[in-house]
Amino acid sequence: MFKILQRDKPNSGLSNKTSDISSSLKILNNYFKDLVEIGRKKRIYILMAMTVGSRKADQCRSHHQKMIKYHGSIDSIISIISYVRDLVELSKQSEQQNKKQK
User: Considering the entire predicted model, what is its pTM?
Assistant: 0.46
Domain count for the chain, please give it. 1
55-99 pLDDT per residue, tens: 998 998 899 889 989 988 888 888 888 999 999 999 999 888 888
Distances 50 to 3, 53, 65 between C-alpha atoms, Å? 48, 5, 18
5-36 pLDDT per residue, tens: 444 444 444 455 566 777 777 776 776 666 56
Residue 83 covered by a domain: no
Residue 7 covered by a domain: yes
The parent domain of residue 50 ranges over 1-56
Residue 46 covered by a domain: yes
CA distance 62 to 95: 35
Q: Where are the alpha helices (DSSP H) in the chain?
A: 2-8, 14-52, 57-71, 74-101
Residue 95 covered by a domain: no
Residue 42 covered by a domain: yes
Residue 49 near residue 57, CB atoms below 8 Å: yes
CA distance 54 to 33: 32
Residue 1 covered by a domain: yes
